[in-house]
Structure 1
Amino acid sequence: MAESLKDKTAKGLMWGALNSGTTQLLNLFFGIFLGRLLSPADYGLVGVLSIFSLIAGNLQSSGFSTAVVNMKAPQHRDYNAVFWFNVLMSSCLYGVLFFCAPLIALFFHQPELTVLSRVVFLSFFISSFGISMNAYMTKNMMQREMAIVSIAALIISGITAISMALAGMTYWSIAAQQVVNSLVLVLGRLFFIKWRPTFDFDFTPIRQTFSFSMKILVTMVITTVSNNMLTVIFGNMLGMRTTGNFFQASKWNTMAHSLISNTVMQVAQPVLVEIRNEQEREIRIFRKMLRFTAFFAFPALLGLSLVSREFIVTTIGEGWLDAVPILQILCIGGAFMPFYTLYQNLVISHGRSDINMWLNILQIAIQLGIIIALSHMGVLHMVAAYTVFNIVWLGVWQMAAHRLTGLRFMQVFADLTPFFFAAAFVMIATHYATSWMTIAPLLLLARVVVAGILYLVVMKLAHAQILDECLHYVTHKHHQA
């Protein structure tokens, strides 16, 4: 059983990494094209709507899809109940937001948001048809199929957006990208899985998991507010251009740390549910997940912070230079964001959605207080305070993990700090080694190559077990093939 779970986890991580890596590369490709074709104000208009779409998406699933994944052996009626609940809830939510569109436009002082929001909000309504299917694929660890569907959706929606942007349809191209992406995801999941919803309206599974799911729901909404709080504040106070610059910086930062977060998220909860009654084994596997995450997260995000200026200039142009210092700060905090995913999945796997909920409520409350207190100091001070607090708050999650599993702070410290200091040393050395270069594209390429090689050399000299295991797994699978 241990070997079977190990192989399943390794396979899931491999496909999860492929999915996340390809997803971020495609997002990078299409993001570069759209960034050169559109203005910060265009991104600002769509960016301020993100929080409404995301909260509506949280409400439509209401945590029940997470509850299904957390079950040992969910049945057809469980998936079916979640499907119909999602569809009915999203229909109601779309109706509410449709009629609230003029109020949203008034709040942000942008009349065009009335029609634009009604189109953008279609994406979460369409997505509701695929949430239960995604839970089915996650529970059955169908990472290969999930990767194929995700990549297809990105390619089709990205081509649609670029075509519309070239035709001069400005912010409408971003709106269409979101809607088309949701549609292709639903159709792709329908193609790959055998499960189909039926017209048996039995909501007993919803009632049975209501308490657990409602705590997940509150947590999801709070997390969404936390992640998009600055966009809303900037949109109301500072105008669409500043909001667009922040939205662009936040997008690149999120893409980078999501590459790691999504990789571990696709296997973390199913695996942790499987071993939650075996404390020593649970701690051992969780610590390995921490090291795997640190091995990739620290060099990736600290590296993006290092190359932020040349990356922005080379990809989307000097018109976005105001986004550079924002991106540099966000990336430092982004290096720690994937660990939130691991801790949250650990807590949820123990059925403690209440801990998950309250920690997120406290986090957003303190964040909001800090942002309001610093609102007169400007964008960079607000972003810096937001970033520092997110790093510090991980300590609270560690205390919760210790209470549930016995995982000690010094164990986590020993797992993470070698990778952090190695990545920081590499980035500092790379900065000074390449500081004489002035041409942005060449500097970007040089820093990526130098930092990548230097990090691998440092890891090899330090005999990093995670590096050896990754190389062994890849070569082992290659020889088997």
Structure 2
Amino acid sequence: MSLQKKAFSGISWTFIEQFGSKAINFTVQIVLARLIAPEEFGLLGMILIFSAVGNSLTDSGMSQSLIRSEKPDEDDFSTVFTINLALSLFLYLVFYIAAPLISSFYDQPRLTDLIRVYSITIVINSLFIIQKTRLTYELNFKYQMKAQLPALLLAGLTGIVMAYMDFGVWALVYMEIVLGLSLTIIYFFQTRWLPKMKLYRHKLKEHFYFGYKLAISGIIGRIVKNIFPLIIGRYFSAAMVGYYTRAVTMKDFPIVTFSNTLDKVLYPVFSKIKKDENLKQAYQKTQVLALLILTTIMLLLILTAHPLFAFLLGDKWLPAVPYFQLLCITGIFYPINKYNSNILKVKGRTDLYLKMAVIVNVTLVIGILLTMKIGIIPLILAQIANSIIAVLINIYYANKFIDYPLQEQVGDILKTSFPGLIAFSAVFSLMYFTPIFENLIDVVELIVTGGLFLFILVAIHFFFKTWSMQEMIKLLKATPLGKPLKRK
């Protein structure tokens, strides 16, 4: 099978996996949100930063090195598995000992036991990272889909049953543990692979040299990303943490579903493309299509946020709506930053990837320091400003390798997003300056608002025959990814 056919097959299976996974998780989260109080979600949100850092440290970026390698062998996989497991056990011990100190920082005594139990997921996750990496290297995403969906169903049912039995935040904790154990067992029976539990120094040196810079940048990014619940919990309340994390979860659902589908497949595919010209063509098309889809989704969510939250989660979650709407703006910039930064990984320039990550996150930390005591809205505005700064930085570095400069990228971005902004402005004006949407029940408002926005958007694209929509139609007709864009 050719690389292009593998890519399209991989995207198909990965989309099924990602959409199915996120649909299951989204449904489970909606049910849990109605059974568990925002304060309980807030408690878990306070400790997510520690598990995020733990998972980054455990892998140390070495799985990315395996995927990028031309022909990794059993010695490569066993070496990375062994070091991952050893690091996960060490980190669990660290978090177990530090749990009382973290609990004291938040002045939340319940966190001690929560941290000690939830941190077990770091060890469990290290047990299936390499099996999943092997399947990704082989572009075998069908097996990953068959593992992910049953594991999520089992974990989701566990969480719902425990929430119904009034376990509160513990339902969320054990749901994650069941998910990790299920994936470990399923991946073992799928791959039938057992590591040798040996370390080969030359292999460790090779993968660690590539991966440690990715690990550092990942740790920095995860700390900064997850520091928001930490700050909110420290200066405000557990309920406010719950509202913020719920807004993030709702915003991330479409972004992670779509972007992870492409990234999971296209990173190994792009790594196999040797000519910079072909890489630019494939990358350019990917970014334009991702931006078209995610801009449409984010603008639609901003318009329908209030009826969406009321209908799905209930009125008790409505304080999260303004946070959600602002966070959706950051989602528009996500594909631009994601795919530009991936070029550096594909080219093996993890040193530049780390440098870029440090610059972006330092600017975000400055924004946090300036706004953290003012309120949650200013904190989110700092994220939006940082997303714009990150776009400029990511484009600058990516241009060094694929000749896709700022002026050209900005032109593509504006052409792709402009129809959505026009449709958004039209519907927004109708909502706030006319009585058309007054006194509608939530589900009707949701359907009318969303339908009107999509109708206007599609009409604009087809009336002006926008090149982004033409490329979308070509993709649906299975046009090969590597062909150049044809602009009108």
TM-score by length of structure 1 reads 0.94
Alpha-carbon RMSD = 1.7
Residue 421 (structure 2) aligned to one of 424, 428, 431: 424
Residue of structure 2 equivalent to 1:344:
341
Residue of structure 2 equivalent to 1:473:
478
**Contact (CA 8 Å) 2:83, 2:199: kept in 1 or not?**
no
Residue of structure 2 equivalent to 1:436:
437
Residue 323 (structure 1) aligned to one of 320, 323, 327: 320
Residue 308 (structure 1) aligned to one of 290, 305, 308: 305
Identity of aligned residues (%): 23
Q: CA deviation at 1:375?
A: 2.4
**Contact (CA 8 Å) 2:60, 2:208: kept in 1 or not?**
no
**Does residue 168 of the first structure (1) align with residue 166 of the second (2)?**
yes
Distance of 1:388 and 1:313 partners within structure 2: 29
Aligned pairs (5 A) from 1:45-84: 45-84=43-82
Q: CA deviation at 1:148?
A: 2.1
Matched letter for residue 232 of structure 1? L
Q: CA deviation at 1:203?
A: 4.0
Distance of 1:310 and 1:331 partners within structure 2: 16
Q: CA deviation at 1:339?
A: 2.6
1:111-145 CA distance string (max 9 Å, x none): 01111111111112100001111111111111122
**Contact (CA 8 Å) 1:77, 1:205: kept in 2 or not?**
yes
Aligned pairs (5 A) from 1:190-269: 190-269=188-267
**Contact (CA 8 Å) 2:58, 2:84: kept in 1 or not?**
yes
Distance of 2:336 and 2:20 partners within structure 1: 21
**Contact (CA 8 Å) 1:295, 1:466: kept in 2 or not?**
no
Residue of structure 1 equivalent to 2:461:
459
Residue of structure 2 equivalent to 1:477:
none
**Contact (CA 8 Å) 2:81, 2:197: kept in 1 or not?**
no
Which 5+ residue runs of structure 1 have no aligned equivalent? 475-481
Distance of 2:459 and 2:177 partners within structure 1: 44
**Contact (CA 8 Å) 2:31, 2:160: kept in 1 or not?**
yes
SS at match of 1:335: helix
Q: CA deviation at 1:245?
A: 0.8
SS at match of 1:407: coil
Distance of 1:176 and 1:439 partners within structure 2: 36
Q: CA deviation at 1:330?
A: 0.2
**Does residue 446 of the first structure (1) align with residue 448 of the second (2)?**
yes
Q: CA deviation at 1:453?
A: 4.2
Residue of structure 2 equivalent to 1:94:
92
Range with bigger deviation, 217-226 or 254-263: 254-263
Residue 34 (structure 2) aligned to one of 27, 33, 36: 36
**Contact (CA 8 Å) 1:460, 1:467: kept in 2 or not?**
no
Judged with a 3 Å threshold, the aligned counterparts in structure 2 of structure 1 residues 76 and 454 are, in CA distance, closer, same or farther, namely farther
Which 5+ residue runs of structure 2 have no aligned equivalent? 480-488
Judged with a 3 Å threshold, the aligned counterparts in structure 2 of structure 1 residues 7 and 457 are, in CA distance, closer, same or farther, namely farther
Aligned pairs, how many? 471
Judged with a 3 Å threshold, the aligned counterparts in structure 2 of structure 1 residues 415 and 189 are, in CA distance, closer, same or farther, namely farther
Residue of structure 2 equivalent to 1:119:
117
Range with bigger deviation, 297-306 or 58-67: 297-306
Distance of 1:154 and 1:126 partners within structure 2: 15
TM-score by length of structure 2 reads 0.93
Judged with a 3 Å threshold, the aligned counterparts in structure 2 of structure 1 residues 442 and 56 are, in CA distance, closer, same or farther, namely same
Q: CA deviation at 1:458?
A: 3.6
Residue of structure 2 equivalent to 1:479:
none
Residue of structure 2 equivalent to 1:11:
9
Q: CA deviation at 1:416?
A: 2.2
Distance of 2:402 and 2:360 partners within structure 1: 22
Q: CA deviation at 1:156?
A: 1.0
Judged with a 3 Å threshold, the aligned counterparts in structure 2 of structure 1 residues 288 and 182 are, in CA distance, closer, same or farther, namely same
Distance of 1:25 and 1:446 partners within structure 2: 23
Matched letter for residue 44 of structure 1? G
Range with bigger deviation, 232-241 or 20-29: 20-29
SS at match of 1:49: helix
SS at match of 2:2: helix
